[in-house]
Chains A and B, each alone.
Chain A
Amino acid sequence: MSLKLTALLKSPWVFHLSTGSCNNCDIEIIDCLTPRFDIERFGMLLAGSIKHADVLLVTGSANRKCIPRIKRVYEQMPKPCFVVAIGECALSRGMFIHSYNCPVPIDHILPVDAYIPGCPPKPEAIIAGAVKLIEKVKNGTAKKAKNEK
């Protein structure tokens, strides 16, 4: 694994994007930064601007208004980068599966590297998902790690 990817895995800065979630998943993400879970141990920081981010955390069920914006945010993220879908809504649209306004799940829009199920997932589950993502990148099977610019 190159030095570039090693460093990336040691300090993944996350940016969280809510695409019409009920806000509960977002609260659980913020929970990971609290003293009890403290993901800064692993070098993760919450980035304010998408241009500083390495990992895009997507929550919510991607409604029609949001889809072009999700794509724009993803395009603005400097590569190499990863996408993580958090919560049942982002994975499969959850309870909104029959809604006229949620045409597709997130992984039809973005190349998702890790899925974290739950409604909302516990902070422990989110950390476990992050560990799985890191394993995946180390094995070289992550989608974004290969097509770096």
Chain B
Amino acid sequence: MIYIGYLIVFGCCLTAVLGLFTSWVDRKVTARVQYRVGPPVLQPVFDVIKLLGKETLIPDGASKLTFLAAPVVGLSSVILVSTILWMNVIHPQQTFLGDLIVVLYLLTVPSMSIIMGGFASGNPLASIGSSREMKLILSYELPFVLAILVPVIHSHYSIRLGDILNMQSGSGVIIGNFSGSIAFIVALLCVQAKLGLVPFDMPEAETEIIGGPFVEYSGAGLAIFRLMKNMLLFVMPFFLMILFMGGIRFDGIHIFNALLKYLGTVALITVIRNTNPRVRIDQALRFFWGPMTVLAIIAIILAYRGW
């Protein structure tokens, strides 16, 4: 029963609120970088409410069930991931063995749901977007998994997130090590691609294929996809914080500390997104399989030597 409570309170509500707030931070920082004023705080909430109130159109020739199910699949997997992460932060001892692997698998499901929805809508632009998303997954997963091996090695080969957190509260955060900071850079760039932000936003590419897989979505489907993306914008930096920066602790000054770490990571992601042009899909593939994979392997070797 307690797990269902966690699912609803932390996984669903708190993550949604924080995710919407994060997406406001992202839009506001973007606006300030461009010398604009930017939207008000409640803007992402109004966007989602408005989309929920609109008509849902299903294109002719679309596969109806898949088209409508895809956003729900993505959203539910994000909720599951965030529940597991919150559980780990609150009770580091009570989680199950191998939850790191479960989280890694569940984090690919949102991208899968985007691919599903794009192909199901039967629009050529959406198909192009989906096929790009597929190539992007292939390119960033390898360095991402390699970078995540570094915290695993540092915490004596444990694939429990709870052990990684305990190790960090005992003997310093992983990003403090030389290998940890290299792995963090690699993981951050992979997260950028996972979130579909510039420079790796070619699946969506507003100016080029007008939203890619989301072209045909309207009303509730689009609202759920937006909510999923906003929640992912909270979950991914949170995951990085757990792996590399010791997570969130709820006692005294540590809350403030956690807030700073979180906002710092989000600001870093936003600044990367605002200062780079979009790359082509082949350039992204070369970037991730070339320099990023090499860096990740170097980090693993350093971590193995205990640095």
Contact = CB atoms under 8 A, between A and B. Distances in A.
Contact of B53 (A3, A41, A51, A76): A3
Contact of B43 (A4, A8, A43, A48): A43
A78 interface: yes
A142 to B, nearest CB: 16
Contacts, number: 79
A78 B43 contact: no
Contact of B47 (A43, A48, A76, A79): A43
Nearest to B35: A35
Given A38-B37, A80-B54, A149-B55, A48 B210 contact: yes
Contact of B50 (A11, A49, A149): A11
B49 A78 contact: no
Main secondary structure of the interface of B (DSSP, over half): loop
A49 B43 contact: no
Q: Which of the listed residues A7, A40, A49, A149 has the most CB atoms from chain B within 10 Å of its own CB? A: A49
A98 to B, nearest CB: 36
Given A38-B36, A40-B31, A40-B36, A49 B214 contact: yes
B199 interface: no
A57 to B, nearest CB: 16
B34 interface: yes
A6 to B, nearest CB: 8
A43 B218 contact: no
A143 interface: no
A113 interface: no
A80 B54 CA distance: 7
A47 to B, nearest CB: 8
B92 interface: no
B53 A4 contact: yes
A52 interface: yes
A78 B219 CA distance: 7
A26 interface: no
A125 to B, nearest CB: 20
Contacts of A88: none
A76 B54 CA distance: 13
A138 interface: no
Q: Which of the listed residues B50, B207, B210, B218 has the most CB atoms from chain A within 10 Å of its own CB? A: B50
A54 B50 contact: yes
B45 to A, nearest CB: 8
Contacts of A49: 210-211, 214-216
Interface string A1-23: 00110011011000000000000
Contacts of B36: 35, 38, 40-41
A87 B40 CA distance: 30
A11 B218 contact: no
Nearest to A81: B54
A76 B40 CA distance: 30
A11 B47 contact: yes
B57 A48 contact: no
Nearest to A51: B218
B5 interface: no
B56 A40 contact: no
16 contacts: A7-B53, A10-B46, A11-B50, A35-B36, A38-B31, A40-B27, A40-B36, A43-B43, A48-B207, A51-B216, A52-B217, A54-B54, A78-B55, A78-B57, A79-B55, A80-B54
Interface of A: 3-4, 7-8, 10-11, 35, 38, 40-41, 43, 48-49, 51-52, 54, 76, 78-80, 149
Given A4-B49, A48-B207, A79-B54, 9 more contacts: A10-B43, A11-B46, A40-B37, A41-B36, A48-B206, A49-B211, A51-B217, A52-B214, A52-B217
Interface of B: 27, 31, 34-40, 42-43, 46-47, 49-50, 53-57, 206-207, 210-211, 214-219, 222
